[in-house]
Amino acid sequence: MTEVEGGLDEPAELEPEQGALDLADAGDRWDRADWERAAAGVLRKARRLGEDDPDALVWERLTRTTLDDIAVTPLGTSDLLDGLRTEGRPQRAGDWDVRAHLDLPAGAEARAANETLLVDLEGGVTSLWLCAAPDADLATALDGVLLDLAPVVLEARGDATDQQALAENFLDHAGERDLAAGTNLGADPLGAALRHGTGPAGDPAGEVDLAPLVAVARAAHERGLLGVVVDATAVHDRGASDAQELGWSMAVAAAYLRALTGAGLTVAQAAGLLEVRYAATDDQFATIAKLRAARRLWARVLELSGVTDEERLRLAQRQHVVTSRPMMSRYDPYVNMLRTTVAAFAAGVGGAEAVTVLPFDSPLGRPEALGRRIARNTSALLVDEAHVAHVADPAGGSYAVEKLTDDLAVAGWAELGRTEEVGGAAAALADGSLLARVARTVERRDDEVARRQRPLTGLTEFPQVDEVLPEREPVTPDSASGWVGVRPYGAAFEALRDDPPTARAFLATLGPVASHTARATFATNLLAAGGVGVDVAGATADVDALLSAYDGQRVAVLAGSDATYAAWGTAAARALREAGARHVVVAGKPLDGTDDACALGVDALSFLTRTREQLA
């Protein structure tokens, strides 16, 4: 037997039984100073910490700052939770709803869409998310779909009036049939205004009419359905940070609660009609924390709206989580499988009720059968083989996740406050204040991507310069609502790859292979990120050997060791210039005789732009 000392709020101290075996010897015990010393040793080898710097400086060196200015420490420790409220835990019990997305084409193509939906349902999908025109041929598209078993969530291509028309179209098609729990008529006027704005550069313009929202909500309430979607991915797709996405979702939800209660519904009735849609990125811990923070914020909104404790449990936020569109890339699209797998894992761990994995080939056009199959199987593998859904709140109790959850909840609440200060979500759209804040986030993210501090595999890192992309049927804004207003994180680099230069650069490798490989590889990958191919000199012993491999390229990039640069780097640069190179670059620190330099931390976008200009 053991004795437990201390009250319920104090740490329990367990006394071992007489003669009990202590399996941990002195060599297995480590404290904070031991970790700092070990981490400092690694940073000194990487030259990120000086020999005279204190070990404790590793916290500053390894702490990263998010786009919301939240500091994320390298090691989760119990003191991070001092005085914090650890709320927002998942409410889902069991498997999540595997929801397939489909842009429903018009006309005769509705039959092909129907075949796609049936394949998805037979393959393990449990609900459908249809993006369609108000007058879509739902009878053909949903032929054979058991609406009492498979929930359908609607998204109209257009404004609030179009949303109402699509909802009425769907209810006419359903008739008196029972509809599955979770079916949502999809009213979201503010989300539509943000995604389909008609102002300058696609920004929202004019007032947003919430009357169609009330009409759809009433119809949903009468049928016992969900009727409203708060689509926070609309602001995420424009480049918003996690806190901005959270704040926008709460501001829109508050606006909808006001409109619906003003139309005669109770707060509980109105809240019960809502589902919130968030984006999941491949930053798994941030995604997990965001979903947990969202539930905490929603509970606070309900509390301030006068909802009782018991009702708040019943009205816990219902989350539909979609793998992020802007994190995906058109180049090396197969990497999108890895991104969406991590994102889906985070969505499940974060407690999402429904998860949509977008097909890896979505950025290229209309996804084909392989992409859709892998998308639905991602959830199947996570649920049925990895058993991710069978653990209640796997991240619960993690010091790092609990701290990040609290930080994001505080930042999201502050963002909600900024929106409410100008009059709410509609006013923040009309006066441009929301998109102005998002624009600052985009600028900051773009700078990090440009400097490759936020790497994008296959695009800014390890790109394939001569890649042949798989062909997909193109889509237009009229047939692909979800991709309207999406700004990919790698947009600037994709633009470079879309228009590659016809000329190649000369990679002037100095010295034997062993001495130039590291910098040659760095330079090759960097240039490939801008669509620039290279002709490699190979092993060279001196300037004459280098010149014998040179073939008149306008740009030459020196790649060698520091010792080789010191011995004959400047002479090589001058010789190449005399032989016809108009622009000489060195991989590493600046060198006499060169025009430019590239090394770790360089603004890759600016460097590539300058280099491409010289190649033109």
190/234 Cα distance (integer angstroms): 9
Q: How many residues does the chain have?
A: 616
Q: What tokens were used for 283?
A: 């930053």
Give the CA radius of gyration of the chain: 28
Q: What tokens were used for 250?
A: 């709460």
- Single out the residue of 47, 79, 74, 50 nearest to residue 60, CA to CA: 74
pLDDT at 200: 45
What pTM did the predictor assign?
A: 0.92
The CA–CA distances, whole Å, from 449 to 64, 113, 453, 455, 488 equal: 15, 37, 6, 6, 11
Domain boundaries along the sequence of the chain: 4-63, 97-430, 500-615
Burial of 607 (0-12, 13-18, 19+ CB in 10 A): buried
The CA–CA distances, whole Å, from 416 to 310, 398, 408, 411 equal: 25, 27, 12, 9
The 8-class DSSP code of residue 599 comes to -
pLDDT at 594: 95
- Single out the residue of 164, 119, 165, 113 nearest to residue 139, CA to CA: 113
Q: What is the mean pLDDT of each run of 10 residues along the chain (616 residues)?
A: 34 45 67 91 91 93 95 91 83 93 81 94 97 94 96 94 96 96 97 76 68 97 97 97 98 97 96 98 97 96 93 94 97 97 98 97 94 97 94 90 95 97 95 96 97 95 92 73 82 95 96 95 96 96 96 96 96 96 96 94 96 95
pLDDT at 338: 97
pLDDT at 480: 56
In contact, 494 and 576? CB cutoff 8 Å: no
Burial of 474 (0-12, 13-18, 19+ CB in 10 A): exposed
344/273 Cα distance (integer angstroms): 25
Report the CATH architecture of 500-615: 3-Layer(aba) Sandwich (3.40)
pLDDT at 558: 97
557/527 Cα distance (integer angstroms): 10
- Compute CA 347 distance to the chain's CA centroid, rounded to the nearest angstrom: 11
Q: What is the CATH number of domain 97-430?
A: 3.20.20.240
274/186 Cα distance (integer angstroms): 9
What residue type is assigned to position 154 of the chain?
L
- Provide CB contacts within 8 A for 183, sequence distance 6+: 147, 151, 152, 153, 225, 226
371/538 Cα distance (integer angstroms): 40
In this structure, the number of other CB atoms found within 10 A of the CB of residue 449 comes to 22
- Single out the residue of 610, 566, 613 nearest to residue 589, CA to CA: 566
pLDDT at 24: 63
Range list of H helices, 67-210: 110-122, 138-141, 160-174, 189-195
